[in-house]
Chains A and B, each alone.
Chain A
């Protein structure tokens, strides 16, 4: 592991230092929800049922699966998710 590096903030310091999460939509109505399976065993059972529950609420779901949980998702997959989905759920790590 690298040691941490300290730098001085070049900004007017009007905003928090830590990278912030994106703002959330008020509701998921009309949104496309991506479900990204990290490919650990049993995760698919979880996500299949999760998808059923979301669809039952009238929400639109797209399924994705990364080849292995041991590495970040391939860039093409990340790009695809970002163009097709409004929000994303990644599951299930244990």
Chain B
């Protein structure tokens, strides 16, 4: 038995998630419907009006046999006219549970189970399903139906909360009648100092449509309180951050990556150092959700960049309990602790994506978490050859943490397109650039020893007479991003690496 699948009302790419999600959540038991046929209609629909006389006939003819014919009306229990017994579904309970997207829909029920479904009017299909060869004589061959009221935007929210609200496990918090919504969230300490979007059940349900994962799936354990963090909790914080549902998979991956032992979010929260988690995104998802990897890539203005980084921070603070003045003892911190998230410009890059260099397939979207401070600028508007430009970049990298400190601190070098062009024209891949930087950044133990140059800070005296690399193996990440104009690159200095510190952590986005 063939069925027509109507396209339905499209609400963006994640519409497909919604349909799949709804079907599995409903787990429909149709035992309240008798075996036979069910037609779901609404008066306010030309196709339903067209088939209305047929429905009266079908009720009459089929009703005489073992099968029943039940008509369910979404908007008017007296439609179709001249039919005695119509199921009043004005609360849309049955339509929602049956997953009706179009009216008219004709269903076959056998032993309490749906065995066939026809969407819209098709004379051939209705004849085949009902076994009535002369059904609809003189009627048009087919007509598409209209949208089911369950999809009407004015009804959809109420239905989502009624049916799926109970799948939400988070504690409900009633804001008092006289509390201003926004103030109430500040008062409860749930913000980062900026206002957040109130996480109502409807907003959280919509956010959860951005993932196939179940809301009660535990994603990770969040420090310092070591609390189990579900997909739902992350969705609540993603709503607060201002994310769209399609950003949620990136946020989930970022939270998961941040809470690994490797990244050591606990240590990062407790340090007096500047750093916060920086999220760098690779892969097809960056364009799919409209992230910014170009002009002002590290700055404000792009919703995906801004809200994904913010959602990570809000989740860590709210779920894990780590707040400034509490566990967060940063001396100065940095503005990136509000949000610091951007995408690599892969299309314009002379190199393979950073994620590929780190072992992932080019079509696998990833987040790379880095314990970074605020970005610093490197100007070089005159170097035309890669050796000279490398020395400029190395000069900027040299001063990460302190020019006389080596090995303990990692860094990300953000190479802008105009600087990248110099390397492209010279045929330097990322490995070649890194090799050059490593050589230049091989520091002289005598120069960087404590007391050398009149500066007490520095490396141990025992390193006098030997050379020391500025960065440990794997401690320098190179990423390509930025607008097409501007001979500037940037260094994002890291927190300490090694045991007790943080490793840059790349995680797949699913």
Contacts and interface: CB of A to CB of B under 8 A. Distances in A.
Contacts, number: 77
Given A10-B233, A14-B321, A5 B181 contact: yes
Interface string A1-25: 1111111111111100101000000
A12 B319 contact: yes
Contacts of B236: 8-10
B174 A11 contact: no
A20 to B, nearest CB: 11
Contact of B319 (A3, A5, A11): A11
Interface residues of A, number: 16
A5 B203 CA distance: 13
A47 B233 CA distance: 49
Nearest to B187: A19
Contacts of B222: 12
Interface stretch (B165-173, B424-432, B483-491): B165-173
Contact of B177 (A3, A6, A10): A3
Contact of A9 (B170, B176, B229, B321): B170
B499 interface: no
B320 interface: yes
Contacts of A10: 170, 190, 199, 233, 236-237, 240, 314-315, 318-319
Contacts of A7: 172-173, 175, 185, 198-200
Contacts of A6: 172-175, 200-201
A13 B222 CA distance: 13
A74 B204 CA distance: 39
B225 interface: yes
Contacts of B181: 5
Contacts of A5: 174-175, 181, 198, 200
Contacts of B174: 4-6
Nearest to B237: A10
Interface in B167-197: 168, 170-178, 181, 185, 187-188, 190
22 contacts: A4-B177, A5-B175, A6-B173, A6-B175, A7-B172, A7-B198, A7-B199, A8-B168, A8-B171, A8-B173, A8-B200, A9-B172, A9-B173, A9-B236, A10-B236, A11-B190, A11-B321, A12-B319, A12-B320, A13-B171, A17-B171, A17-B173
Interface of A: 1-14, 17, 19
